[in-house]
Chains A and B, each alone.
Chain A
Amino acid sequence: MAGVETLRVMETQGRAYRRIWRGSVITTFLNPVMYLAAMGVGLGVLVDDGTGAEALEGFEYLTYLAPGLLAASTMMTGAGDGAWPVMAGIKWQRHYEAILATPVNVRDLVSGHLLWVSVRLLMVSVIFGFVMILFGATGVVQAIAAVIPAMLTGMAFAGPVTAFTSWTEDHTGLTNLFRFGLVPMFLFSGTFFPITQLPGWMQPLAYLTPLWHGVEMTRSWSLGLEPTFSPVVHFGYLALLIVGGWLASQHFLGKRMIT
């Protein structure tokens, strides 16, 4: 029974999304185009001509960068969808209150929301993969292989950020999360360069970031690289965050809405 309500929440979120899908798809397409053009092609030429190739395990910079950037994109999408629409539902437009006045309960709402985010992440990963192929950064099979670890990366952020949004008072908390949490992660979790390039004391910190585990696995599955730790560790960490985020979201959203 609970399953039906979860699917209804997912469906209605998708329906609301139809209003903005054009703009959203264009952004989803243009972002990787711009990043891959600027960093992969523009900067990549310098890297490849320099001492880069060695650190990049023999890959061209564009090829090395693309899966990292894919994981970082799903992180941003997952986190963004866990933040702004959730705060709108709780506080700015308050339509979560309206939803919870129907047979739908908090668990259905959280599950349906996260399921919808996973659909969005699939869209982002597929479009990104398409752009990767377009740039000649990777082949079709590699692009497809990258989809699952990339989606898991996004979900590892969507869940915890949904929980954080349910807990934090207003947009200040969210902007701080992005400013001090996600942007540094974006830059220092192996997206643009291997974390072995970081000062020694920073490397263990990078191990803690979920993005690094996502980047490791996305890169591993699409380039055939051996990941730093066993895939069980990397995927396990992401899975822990997904399940933990799902449970914590229910807890905090329930506390916020059912008073």
Chain B
Amino acid sequence: MSLSESLVVARRLTKKFGDFAAVDAVDFDIRPGEAFGFLGPNGAGKTSTMKMIGAVSPITAGTLSVFGLNPEVDGPEIRSRLGVVPQQDNLDEEIPVDENLLIYGRYFGMSRAELWPRIDELLEFAELTGRRKDKVAALSGGMKRRLTIARALINEPDLLLLDEPTTGLDPQARHLLWDRLYRLKRQGVTLIITTHFMDEAEQLCDRLVVMDKGKIVAEGSPRALIEQYVTREVIEVRFPVGVQETVVDQMEGIAKRVEVLPDRVLLYSDNGESTMQEVHGRGLEPESMLDRRSTLEDVFLRLTGRTLID
């Protein structure tokens, strides 16, 4: 696919706050119809990147084009084609659910006649039809999140920006939200998602970049990243409190890679079974051993030496 067909093109894109580079010369292309993720810990530069794409934060250096337009000069036109779901809900809590959507649609210049049927549709989509006359303040966290997403869809955006869409939600609410995002994706809406949840990235993203300290440290599909950077399986070994330090030396060379975390040791192996046997073979007696598939978390740990959420 040629660059001109990409919805978003960033080249050496940089955002500085004083001397601090929140985003440090990153390159990426986002294509129509894909779900693209920015994965990284807090402070990696994900939100700053999102705000520049959303044409609400001027870029410091490099180039950025959104829909082939320049956010610096074509901000209103870009924003008219975007849907934005911010990290923190920013609904108008004093007014009812449906009026939040109505008012928001008016900012895009939509008429009431076109808005009301659209609102019915979106409330249905967000499973909020029964709550349409309630004040937003009375909604649960998951409902507010769904309403924020519904609001972002009011103008039928070509591109939906979701900044940590499920942070703070319980597992049930997260799964419902993922389902809705998956439906949007199938309808052809391009999604850009930031997250520090690797399971979210794995569930939703066709392609993602891993960010750390303002830089992109890896790029690819979740599967490709796992294949490239880590083994198929990981053994998590836990020892009783205080024991790990004394036995860590004995684990050297036991697997392709050994990662020592404060509370556990990770053994990266293509054959979990035999690695577990080898642990016992060396006379080690861990409190527990868990054989699991590698995830993006392991990729991140491999690339940065840190876990995603500390």
Contact = CB atoms under 8 A, between A and B. Distances in A.
A and B form one complex:
yes
Interface of A: 4-5, 8-9, 11-12, 15-16, 19-20, 93-105, 257-259
Interface string B67-78: 000000001110
A93 B84 contact: no
A102 B80 contact: yes
A93 B107 contact: no
Nearest to A4: B109
Contacts of B155: 102
Nearest to A11: B106
Nearest 8 interchain pairs by C-beta? A94-B90, A102-B107, A103-B76, A101-B84, A12-B103, A98-B90, A103-B80, A95-B92
Contacts of B151: 98
Interface string B98-115: 010011101111000000
A101 B82 contact: yes
> For B91, B94, B102, B151, which residue has the most chain A Cβ atoms within 10 angstroms?
B94
Interface residues of B, number: 32
Contacts of B80: 102-103
Given A93-B94, A95-B90, 10 more contacts: A8-B106, A8-B109, A12-B107, A15-B99, A19-B94, A101-B79, A101-B82, A102-B79, A102-B80, A105-B75
> For A19, A94, A97, A101, which residue has the most chain B Cβ atoms within 10 angstroms?
A101
Given A98-B90, A258-B57, A15 B103 contact: yes
Given A101-B82, A258-B58, A16 B103 contact: yes
Interface of B: 17, 51, 54, 56-58, 75-77, 79-80, 82, 84, 86, 88-95, 99, 102-104, 106-109, 151, 155
**SS of A interface (majority):** helix
Contact of B91 (A20, A96, A98): A98
A4 B17 CA distance: 33
B91 A99 contact: no
A82 B80 CA distance: 28
A94 B88 contact: yes
Nearest to B78: A103
B121 to A, nearest CB: 19
B108 A93 contact: no
B86 A98 contact: yes
A101 B106 contact: no
Given A12-B103, A15-B103, A93 B90 contact: yes
Given A101-B54, A102-B79, A16 B94 contact: yes
Contacts of B89: 94
A175 B86 CA distance: 30
A55 B54 CA distance: 62
B56 A101 contact: yes
Contacts of B92: 16, 93, 95
Nearest to B75: A105
A101 B86 contact: yes
B128 to A, nearest CB: 17
A93 B95 CA distance: 12
Contacts of B86: 94, 97-98, 101
